[in-house]
Amino acid sequence: MRSRTQAWSACAACLLLSLIAGPAAAAPLRQFAWCAPGVTPAFAFGFAALRVHVGAAMGEPIECEHANPENGDTLQQTTTGLAFYRKRTNTPTFTDGQSHWALTTGGLETWQGSAVDPPSQTAPVLLVLGDSLALGEGATDPAQLGYVPLTFAALRPLGFQQVTSLAQRAETVSTFLATGGQFEQALALLRGPDSPPRALTLQVGGNDLLHLLNGPPCLVSPSSAACTEAVRAALKGVAAGYPSVLASLRNAAGAARIVVLTYYNPFSGTGTAYDAFTQRALRGTALEPCSTADPVARGLNGIIRCAAQAAGVEVLDIEPLFRGRGLAFTHVAALDAHPTDAGYAVIADALIEALRQGS
């Protein structure tokens, strides 16, 4: 057994070492994302008011508020989802990925799905994007018998009061995306101070293929290897642009319905080499188009469907409506691929039904 003197010596040594080492270092403070040093995340202002209404489903903040550089909104991640303040509509909102809660001037609104804004904040406007088909070219009276005016007339009882069309004749995906083009105009409108439209339709990409029939090699030999490569190049360009177009429109359109239309085969039922060429270019060769990245295997309509699926956008496939009816539903006998009045009526009927569902 150690002597008392030895024990005191050991204690003194420990005390001396502690004095030399100084006090124990304090544990470093946790740094939270987007917070100033030493600041703990908390709900404030609109988010705090929204938390009172939503309750525990809104979780607790795990970061401080910060701006979304794309649109000026304010964001704050929580333990259960994302709180965001819509600058355009002065609306604090929370989503868990599927369910949404927003504190509007009319009180708390809830809804399901991918729409960013509450249903009450959509304007009674139909926004139309596209090419000459959206302009009704080929109809005896485009202003009355194109698929857009026919659709709008049928939607009036649902509260639609206005059509805003940005469609352009001969539009391709590249011109659609060009500086100052439809895409930029649409995003400016959607992100502007006014409420987003109630519905948006898009049909673009057909001219990327149709122009191939204006000259060789596809006009002369649509089944040739050279034509196949020309189709591949055209579809590659469409595939490069479509996903970002639909994703951006979906992000900017709030609660608006978005319906993207596919394309029909104007030669369907003619039995010509152009019938087989167009069918192959539209429908592709893959049984499951979204399982391949090959644009030729996907085909134009497959590219559109896969991009829409990825962006959470609705698709209206009009190609089956024209199968075997190219001569009746288009002016192809006069070397014009645009629909007749009957063809536009068929497209309008399908679009009306699509927009009525869920309205």
Q: What is the CATH number of the domain that holds 188?
A: 3.40.50.1110
Which of 121-135, 238-252, 335-349 has the least mean pLDDT? 121-135
Report the number of distinct structural domains present in the chain. 2
Q: Following DSSP, what letter does each residue of 198-254 receive, concatenated?
A: EEEEEE--HHHHHGGGGSTTTTT-TTSHHHHHHHHHHHHHHHHHHHHHHHHHHHHST
The edge-to-edge listing of strands for the beta sheet with 74-77 is 66-67, 74-77, 82-86, 91-95, 99-104, 107-112
pLDDT for position 358: 62
Task: Name the β-bridge partners of 82.
Answer: 77, 95
Query: Do 206 and 351 fall into the same domain?
Result: yes
Structure tokens at 54: 């939503």
Give the domain-ending residue among 70, 87, 115: 115
Query: Do 128 and 171 fall into the same domain?
Result: yes
Q: Residues 224-241: pLDDT tens digits?
A: 999 999 999 999 999 999
Residue 31 belongs to a domain = no
Query: Do 83 and 160 fall into the same domain?
Result: no
Give the domain-ending residue among 115, 150, 167: 115
Residue 27 belongs to a domain = no
Where does the pLDDT of residue 27 fall: very low under 50, low under 70, confident under 90, or very high at 90 and above? low
Residue 36 belongs to a domain = no
Higher pLDDT pick, 325 / 10: 325
pLDDT for position 1: 42
Domain that holds residue 157: 122-356
Residue 309 belongs to a domain = yes
Query: Do 223 and 108 fall into the same domain?
Result: no
Query: Do 106 and 157 fall into the same domain?
Result: no
Query: Do 104 and 144 fall into the same domain?
Result: no
pLDDT for position 25: 53
pLDDT for position 359: 62
User: Does the structure show a pLDDT above 90 at 16?
Assistant: no
pLDDT for position 30: 82
**Mean pLDDT taken over the chain:** 90
pTM of the model: 0.72
Query: Do 205 and 281 fall into the same domain?
Result: yes
Residue 211 belongs to a domain = yes
Give the domain-ending residue among 98, 115, 132: 115
User: Does the structure show a pLDDT above 80 at 9?
Assistant: no
Query: Do 276 and 136 fall into the same domain?
Result: yes
Query: Do 55 and 192 fall into the same domain?
Result: no
User: Does the structure show a pLDDT above 60 at 314?
Assistant: yes
pLDDT for position 14: 42
Residue 8 belongs to a domain = no
Which DSSP state fits 327?
H
Query: Do 155 and 68 fall into the same domain?
Result: no
pLDDT for position 26: 53
User: Does the structure show a pLDDT above 80 at 11?
Assistant: no
Query: Do 206 and 309 fall into the same domain?
Result: yes
Which of 3-17, 63-77, 182-196, 292-306 has the least mean pLDDT? 3-17
User: Does the structure show a pLDDT above 70 at 7?
Assistant: no
What lies within 8 Å, CB to CB, of 50 at 6+ separation is 43, 58, 83, 92, 93, 94, 101, 102, 103
Residue 10 belongs to a domain = no
Query: Do 327 and 267 fall into the same domain?
Result: yes
Residue 278 belongs to a domain = yes
Where does the pLDDT of residue 254 fall: very low under 50, low under 70, confident under 90, or very high at 90 and above? confident
Span 38-59, average pLDDT: 95
Q: Residues 73-120: pLDDT tens digits?
A: 999 999 999 999 998 788 999 999 989 999 988 788 888 877 788 877
